[in-house]
Amino acid sequence: MRLASFSLLRLVFLGMLFAGSVSAQISVGTIVNVSKRSNNESEPAIAIDPNNTNRLFISANTNATGLLSSRSSNGGGGWTATTIATGSDSLVAGCCDSSAVFDSFGNLWLVYLGEDGKVKVALSTDGGQNFSNFASLGDGDEPTIAAATGRIWVTYTDGSNTISVRSAAVTGLGTAGSFGARQVATSSTDGEYGDIAIGPNGEVLVAYQTPSSGQGPVDLYVDLDPDGAGATGFKNRVHVTSTAVGGFDAIPAQSGRTVDAEVGLAWDHSGGLFNNRVYLVYTDEAPNESNNTKILLRYSDDRGSTWSEPIRVSDDVTSHSQFLPRIALDQTTGDVAVSFYDCRNDIGTGPDDTNGIANDDAELFVAVSSDGGNTFSSNVRVTSHPSNAVIAGNKFGFGDYEGLVFEDGSFFPVWADDSNSTSDNPNGTLSKFDIYTAKIQDNSGGPYIALLPQGAADGVKNLDYDQTITAKGGTAPYVFGHTGTLPDGLSLNCSSNICVLSGNPTASGTFAFTVNVTDADANTGSRDYSVHIASNCIFCDDFENGILDSAWTYQRTWTESAGFLNATTGKKKATALAPSGANCTNCDMEATVKTTGGNSAKTWILGWYQSDNNKIELTMDDKNDQWTLEQTVNGSVIAKQVVISGIHPNTVYDVKMNFSGSTITLRVDGSTFMVLPLPNSPFGTAGLRIKKTSSSLGFLSIE
């Protein structure tokens, strides 16, 4: 929420670099009104669950106490809207300025500005159906929230008018610690309209503009905390560029509310060709006070220390306004999308005009880059009719921002719209703003083909090893290759669709290598792997001889074939336990497991097992895509965490659990899923248990 200012600054002219456009296939889906309320809404935010892309959540200002809440569980096909943070529901009364994000555990985090002027954080564990108050962070403005592995981050302009950052550790579904002490970006006094992005290794980068008022010019800065939650803190700020769009720059489409440069960040950690590249989008104006505002982008390959020349995103040839850009990056492809309001078609007459005045009616446009931001597609208009903020009579106008998310080849912009193009605005046409979205398919394929899994299983010397690596995205057939050092005794054998790293390791150690792939359209991808081969193990079994080991304990019928220990069962559980000689306390337990799934299917990986009353148990709930890790002592559950992440039938998962004195760390396919503090030290062996499904154990190692 910006407070009015009337400062005037000197005039400057900024030259811009036009990048040649490339054609990318963008398919705009059905436009949907997600609010359908009788009052104005604006400043929408959107979040998508990366583990279940059917789950989306939208929030927005309501021009009154409370926030719009709208959620979808079917990929944006249908939406359920309500008002939250009214002060009479479960949340502290809200004013505005919401931002939302899903984390890797399936938690939905919502940050907003309360009616008391303080930054509020709310938490939902069911996709936005219910929220609870989580924290109040003090006086602030324009908060933004982001998620990283095991942590959430909030940035905002604090009561001293500086850029503040706070974070909290997240260890499971509904489980998080308190926010830590406030950190301040270096020399950010009079900074405003900030954004935040998290790097591949937990680094934190904030961006903002200063001064926060006036028509411009102003300066855009970034500041890096290189170790995130570590002790280093933010370094000296870096000047990215100047822009002629000040903190309160009046343009015809928003002459009362005004606009700012609306700097935005996206950090690539897709593992692709442009991995670790940071993107920064903003608005500029040339000449100053011409209303000829354009959307530009710069990128950095050194964590924000240096930046590219500006690249033009908006490709119009008019002198009209584009404003309030939003950027999002698809971590499965590395492609970048930018959305923005655009007045290019409003010439004061015709179907794209509402009032006979040129350059004050806006439509939403998008563009995509599949080459690391070097070029952008031809801009695509999303909306079918123009909107006008003055006619809407909204005190926020179009607002200070619109929203955008990008995941798994599709992106969803979300914007304020009074065109009534869907004929379901309760106020009719050109009366009040409702909130709209549309699913947009990026069919360009991108330059990056994803390689899965993200991490390869470890192994043991002289024990057969088998790891499948598959390509995702692009166009088959694929051509694979590798660089670096494969473990001694292993070879990488590839077909047109998959690679298999297999053999009998002949040496211990840690081996680093990179698998690369090229698809039929010459798009490329790569992923770095590191495989540790242990010299020996407390207990190992690769199930390769096809004969059940009599040292194991079996309940129900089990078979061994093709490198898997298998069982099928109905209502009664089937259990297989490694021999007592595999008992350990401080150790690693690693297994590969798959299940055929089913509506009521359950698969349990047992660890540190003594009895059903004393054990560590990891439950794979296929129906709900839910991983549950818990410790039972003397029949009572004393520690438990839950993660929401896709569990796909007949997919082999590499699961590694490590206990080291006080906590157990769970990693799945190389990614850390949770860190669970244990009140009691565990002891025991390992095994597999299933119910109402067929499941297989492909490899078990205890070190």
Q: Which two tokens stand for residue 492?
A: 């990488």
pLDDT higher than threshold 50 for residue 276: yes
Residue 81 within any structural domain of the chain: no
At which of 425, 442, 459 does a domain end?
Answer: 442
Mean pLDDT of the chain: 91
Rounded to a whole number of angstroms, the distance between the first and last alpha carbons of the chain is: 55
Pair 31, 382: CB distance under 8 Å = yes
Distance CA 506, CA 308 (A): 47
Task: Find the CATH number of the domain harbouring 503.
Answer: 2.60.40.10
Sheet of 380-381, strand order: 322-329, 336-342, 363-369, 380-381
Domain boundary among 391, 425, 442: 442
415 DSSP assignment: E
User: Does residue 476 fall inside a structural domain?
Assistant: yes
Q: Do 596 and 678 belong together in one domain?
A: yes
Give me the pLDDT at residue 473, please.
Answer: 67
Residue 106 falls within a domain, yes or no? no
415 and 494 together in one domain: no
Q: What is the pTM of this model?
A: 0.70
Q: Are residues 214 and 303 in the same domain?
A: yes
Domain that holds residue 437: 26-43+140-442
Q: Is the domain of 579 the same as that of 689? A: yes
| pLDDT for 8 | 29
pLDDT at 684: 96
pLDDT, residue 216, reads 86
Comparing 78-82, 158-162, 363-367, 635-639, the range with the smallest average pLDDT is 158-162
**Average confidence (pLDDT) over 569-595:** 94
Residue 587 has a pLDDT of: 93
Q: Is the peptide bond before 453 cis (omega within 30 degrees of 0)?
A: yes
Residue 127 lies in a domain: no
**Rounded Cα distance, 216 and 209, in Å:** 10
362 and 510 part of one domain: no
Clarify whether residues 167 and 33 are in a common domain: yes
pLDDT at position 626: 83
Residue 96 included in any domain = no
Q: Which of 409, 442, 475 is the last residue of a domain?
A: 442
Same domain, 569 and 684: yes
Of all residues in the chain, the percent with pLDDT exceeding 70 is: 95
Around 208, how many Cα atoms within 13 Å sit in the side-chain half-sphere? Answer: 33
Q: Do 416 and 512 belong together in one domain?
A: no
- Between 134-148, 465-479, 601-615, the lowest mean confidence (pLDDT) is in 465-479
More confident: 194 or 201: 194
Nearest to 144 by CA among 105, 98, 178: 98
**H or E element at residue 390:** helix 389-392
Residue 195 lies in a domain: yes
In this prediction, residues 273-301 reach a mean pLDDT of: 93
pLDDT value for 280 = 98
Residue 115 in any domain: the answer is: no
Lowest mean pLDDT among 66-80, 542-556, 620-634: 620-634
pLDDT at 14 over 50: no
Are 494 and 405 found together in one domain? no
Confidence grade of residue 187 (pLDDT, cut at 50, 70, 90): very high
Report if residue 84 sits inside a domain.
no
Q: What is the CATH number of the domain that holds 637?
A: 2.60.120.560
| Range from 17-21, 87-91, 97-101, 647-651 carrying the lowest mean pLDDT | 17-21
Domains identified in the chain, total number: 3
Per-residue DSSP letters for 540-592?
EE---SSS--TTSEEES-EEEETTEEEEEESSS-EEEE--GGG-BSSEEEEEE
Taking the C-alpha atoms of residue 355 and residue 353, their distance in angstroms, rounded to an integer, is 6
Q: Percentage of residues in the chain with pLDDT exceeding 90?
A: 75
Q: What is the pLDDT of residue 454?
A: 77
Peptide bond into 649 cis (omega under 30): no
Model pLDDT for residues 425-452, shown as the tens digit of each residue: 999 999 999 999 999 999 875 556 778 8
Q: Report, as an integer, the average pLDDT of 9-38.
A: 60
Residues 279 and 372 both lie in one domain:
yes
Q: For residue 97, is pLDDT > 60?
A: yes
In terms of domains, do 372 and 431 share one? yes
Q: In sequence order, which residues have a C-beta less than 8 Å from that of residue 228 and are 6 or more positions away?
A: 148, 151, 167, 198, 199, 201, 202, 203, 204
How many residues are listed for the chain in this entry? Answer: 703
Could you tell me where the beta strands, DSSP code E, fall in 453-523? Answer: 459-460, 465-472, 479-484, 490-494, 498-503, 509-518
CATH number at 201 reads 2.120.10
Say whether both 660 and 582 belong to one domain. Answer: yes
